[in-house]
Amino acid sequence: MKEIQVVWHKVPDTDCVLSAIIAADYLEKKWYKKATPYIQGELNKETAYLLEQLNINIPETKTSFPEGTNICLVDHNEEFQTLDNLKELNVEWVIDHHKMKFETPTPLNMRVEPICSTGSILYKMYKESGFEISKNIAIMMLACILSDSLLFRSATTTKEDTILAEELKTISWIEDFEAFAMPMFNEKSDLWDMLVEKLIKYDYKEFDLNWTKVWIWTLETTNPWYGLGRKNEILEWLEAIKQKDNLDFIMLSIVDIIWEKNTTIVLDWKDTEILEEVFNCTAENNLADLKNRLSRKKQVVPDLTKYFG
Ligand SMILES: [Mn+2]
Last residue of a domain, one of 114, 149, 184: 184
How many domains is the chain built from? 2
In a domain, 122, yes or no: yes
Residue range 63-112, pLDDT digits in tens = 899 999 999 999 988 877 888 898 899 999 999 999 887 888 889 999 99
In angstroms, what is the span from residue 149 Cα to ligand 1's centroid? 9
Quote the CA–CA distance of 106 and 90 in Å, as a whole number: 9
Residue range 82-92, pLDDT digits in tens = 888 988 999 99
In a domain, 190, yes or no: no
For residue 252, give the CATH number of its domain.
3.10.310.20
Instruction: Give which of 38, 34, 25, 43 is closest to 64, Cα–Cα.
Output: 38
**Domain identity same for 131 and 163:** yes
How far lies 154's CA from each of 90, 93, 298, in Å?
34, 27, 9
**Domain identity same for 231 and 168:** no
**Domain identity same for 164 and 226:** no
In angstroms, what is the span from residue 115 Cα to ligand 1's centroid? 9
**Domain identity same for 211 and 174:** no
What pLDDT is stored for residue 42 in this prediction?
A: 84
Task: For residues 23-39, give the mean pLDDT.
Answer: 94
In a domain, 189, yes or no: no
* Percent of residues, the chain, with pLDDT higher than 70: 98
What is the pLDDT of the chain when averaged over all its residues? 91
What pLDDT is stored for residue 263 in this prediction?
A: 97
**Domain identity same for 180 and 201:** no
**Domain identity same for 161 and 218:** no
In angstroms, what is the span from residue 16 Cα to ligand 1's centroid? 6
Residue range 4-19, pLDDT digits in tens = 999 988 788 999 999 9
Name, in order, each residue with C-beta under 8 angstroms of 235's C-beta and a sequence gap of 6 or more.
265, 267, 286
In angstroms, what is the span from residue 298 Cα to ligand 1's centroid? 12
**Domain identity same for 243 and 138:** no
Q: In which domain, by residue range, is 244 found?
A: 196-308
In angstroms, what is the span from residue 232 Cα to ligand 1's centroid? 30
**Domain identity same for 205 and 166:** no
In a domain, 275, yes or no: yes
Residue range 167-199, pLDDT digits in tens = 999 999 999 999 999 999 998 887 766 777 777
What pLDDT is stored for residue 100 in this prediction?
A: 86
**Domain identity same for 241 and 142:** no
**Domain identity same for 149 and 218:** no
In angstroms, what is the span from residue 79 Cα to ligand 1's centroid? 16
Last residue of a domain, one of 160, 184, 208: 184
pLDDT beyond 70 at 202: no
In a domain, 161, yes or no: yes
In angstroms, what is the span from residue 269 Cα to ligand 1's centroid? 32
In angstroms, what is the span from residue 76 Cα to ligand 1's centroid? 8
Last residue of a domain, one of 159, 184, 209: 184
**Domain identity same for 112 and 217:** no
In angstroms, what is the span from residue 270 Cα to ligand 1's centroid? 30
In a domain, 250, yes or no: yes
Residue range 224-248, pLDDT digits in tens = 988 898 899 899 989 998 999 899 9
Q: Give residue 275's pLDDT band: very low, low, confident or very high (50, 70, 90).
A: very high
What pLDDT is stored for residue 201 in this prediction?
A: 66
In a domain, 205, yes or no: yes
For residue 116, give the CATH number of its domain.
3.90.1640.10
